[in-house]
Structure 1
Amino acid sequence: MTPRTTARDLLDEHGRTHADEAGIRLGNTPAPLYRLLTLCVLFSVPIQAGIAVAAARELHAAGMGTPRAMAAASWQDRVDALGRAHYRRYDESTATALGDGAELLLDRYRGDLRRLRAAADGDPDRIRELLQDVPRIGPVGADIFCREAQGVWPELRPAFDNRARATAAKLGLPTTPADLARLVPADDLPRFAAALVRAGLS
């Protein structure tokens, strides 16, 4: 089996991004970018991926899909939404982090992550650094954001984090981002990176 065939099989079997699973139609507009960031915050604690995705959906359903709405919601509203998604143990601290993060985005970027992108001036490493100013977003959360957002922010391409590259190595695929990117069309990079991570967990 050639590397390209393996990549196609991975896309067919595991090629669904977390954003898609959470019902986020990702585009270069403020609301979906913020919802992706919220999802990354929810992933930042040791909790099942399905629960984090469900919590992201519940927060959106409760009207907290923008930084302004998140900041305006009460702490208890956020806790209750997380609880409905069975996001337990970390619900109170995460509710605080989401409120603080929304305030930071409003103060620094007027609630628009495209302003963070502009502040990074096209530098992917700087984007990762600025993302980590958001409460609860560490290197792994920043990697998840970049992995998913590379479809709408081309300067992030190719984004394959350590988990994706570790799976690639186990499958006998190339392990550098540039070589992995050659295996699929550019539009499929987010799905391919997600597929590698999912395959590694399955």
Structure 2
Amino acid sequence: MSASTGNLGALAGRTVYLDPGHAGTAPPAELTADDGRGGTKPCNAPGTASDDGWPEHTFTWEISQQLRTILEDAGVTVLLSRADDVHRADCIDERTYKENASAADVVVSLHADVSGPGNTGFHISAVTDPLPHNLAGESSRLASTVRDAMVSAGLPVSNYLGTDGLNPRADLSGLNLSTKPKILIEFGNMRDADDLAALRSQEGRRQRARAVAEGLASYLA
């Protein structure tokens, strides 16, 4: 194990699918996706932005590239749901079908939240009210394990959503349709100045990416 991989040796030979939320170009408003529970929703939500216009889709792309580098240095095959931060991406249901068809051991969807100033910290969602095809137990264990790694890295849990950094959800297509161990991470609130400063800094993103990688290594060990 090289010095650069640290405690990530358990990841060697594994496959991780990263889904950097949203996309650089929004889809047509009329395009819809399967919500996984008998309904439809927009193909891809546009995502949020900071008060000065820095978009969530750029944050998720930037942290996906930092996490990708950390994982690949540890011997992981990394798959991505989109190729860049400029063009349109697949609808959320199509992203999930591709994840399901892949050889991925785990899937991690990367996001940032929008809330009022003073609402801070990260939270992680796994599917709740699971459907028969969901790996609900494994997804919950993945969420808890990554949460623990992020807390160990000194990252604060959300003070406004969920409990102890966990916020299970039944309204997300990407979780409802998944047949993999899958989580969605909201890394912070883009409308809070302190959270935004961390999300916007290369070092803040690197710290979060490294913590996620450590959590994945603990889960897959």
Structure 1-normalised TM-score?
0.29
Q: TM-score, normalised by structure 2?
A: 0.27
**Which protein has the bigger strand share?**
2
